[in-house]
Amino acid sequence: MEFRQAIHSEHAKQLDTQGLRDQFLIEKIFKNNELNITYSHLDRLIVGGALPIDKPVPITTSMCQHTGTDYFLERRELGTINIGGPGSITVDGTRYEVATHEGLYIGKESRDIQFESSDSADPAAFYICCTPAHQKYPTRKVTLSEASPQTLGSASNSNERTIYKYFVPDVLPTCQLLMGMTRLEEGSLWNTMPCHTHERRMEAYFYFDMADDSVVFHMMGEPQETRHLVVRNRQVALSPSWSIHSGVGTGRYTFIWAMAGENQTFSDMDHIPMEELR
Ligand SMILES: O=C[C@H](O)[C@@H](O)CC(=O)C(=O)O
Ligand SMILES: [Zn+2]
C-alpha cells in the first residue's frame, strides 16, 4: 500500500512538476490479479483497484495493518464501480453480478469480500473508494440507469457531459462516501469549468476511457495559484479541499469522482468566478 500525507496549500505552491506528481497523482491503480490501494490522509480516503484476471481477488486481513482493525471494513464503507468487463463481487456469501459501469456499495462490517471476472479475456476492473464509517448501511448494487443521470454543459464550451451519481443520498444511504461517474461526449474535452472548490470535502478524480497517447491536463491549486498535473489513462488525481479540480483532455474521457468529508450535499461547492482564476 502506498501512502499520501495531507498537504498544506502553502507547501503545494512551492512544488515543481515531480513534487506535485508525488503528492497528488496516483499513477498505477490496477495491477493484475491484485487489490492495489493507496491510503490518502485527505479525509482518510483509500483509493485503488481490484483487477481479477484468472483468479478471484479477495480483501485480506493484510490491509488491517493500516486500519488497526480486525478486518478491513470493521469501521469503513466501500464503493466500487466496474470499468472493465462483466464480473461479480461476493460479500459474506452473497454474490452480486456487477456488469460494466455498474456499482456496488459495500456496507460497514462486511467481512469476506472477493472480486471476480466472468471472462479472463475481458476482465472486470473494479475502481474502489473506501472511507471511515460509523454506521452499517445495506450493501447494494447500483446500475447506470439508477444513478440519476444529469446532462450538463454545451458543445460550444466543449463540455457536454453526463453525470451519473451512484452513491449519493438520493440513491442510497452511506456514512460519508459520495461517488459517481461523468462521461464526456465525443468532441467534449472539459469537465467542471467554471470550476469550484469545496472547503468541506476532499475529492479524488479517476480518469479512464482514454487512448494511450491521450492526456488530461488536470487543473489544481488554489484558485489564484493554479497548477496542473498531466494525467494518463487509469490514473487518479487527489484534490484537497483548498484545490480546484477540473480537467481538459486531448481527447474525450470518462472519470469517476469520489468525495468524503463534512456533508453529503452534492451541490455544496464554492464556485469560482472566471475572473478570479489565476
Ligand atoms: O464536486 C463535484 C465534482 O467535482 C464532479 O461531480 C464534477 C463533474 O463531474 C463535472 O462537473 O464534470
Ligand atoms: Zn468537486
Q: Is the CB of 182 under 6 A from ligand 1?
A: yes
Ligand closest to CA 196 = 2
Look at residue 3 and tell me if it is in a domain.
Answer: no
**Is the Cβ atom of 181 under 6 angstroms away from ligand 1?**
no
Q: Note whether residue 4 is domain-resident.
A: no
Give residue 149's domain range: 11-276
Low-confidence ranges of the chain (pLDDT < 50): none
Domain annotation covers residue 172? yes
* Residue 123 CA to ligand 2 centre (angstroms): 30
User: Is there a domain that residue 2 lies in?
Assistant: no
ipTM reported for the complex surpasses 0.95: yes
- Total of domains in the chain: 1
**Ligand 2: distance of its center to the CA of 202 in Å?**
8
The CATH number assigned to the domain holding 149 equals 2.60.120.10
3-class DSSP string for the chain: CEEECCCCHHHHCCCCHHHHHHHHEECCCCCECCEEEEEECCCCCEEEEEECCCCCEECCHHHHHHHCCCCCCCCEEEEEEECCCCEEEEECCEEEEECCCCEEEECCCCCCEEEEECCCCCCCCEEEEEEECCCCCCCEEECCCCCCCEEECCHHHCCCEEEEEEECCCCCCCCCCEEEEEEECCCCCEECCCCEECCCEEEEEEEECCCCCCCEEEEEEECCEEEEEEECCCEEEEECCCCCCEEEECCCCEEEEEEEECCCCCCCCEECCHHHCC
**Is the CB of 26 inside a 6 Å radius of any atom of ligand 1?**
no
Residue 249 lies in a domain: yes
Q: Give the model confidence (pLDDT) of 234-278 as tens digits.
A: 999 999 999 999 999 999 999 999 999 999 999 999 999 999 999
Is 161 close to ligand 1, i.e. is its CB under 6 Å away?
Answer: yes
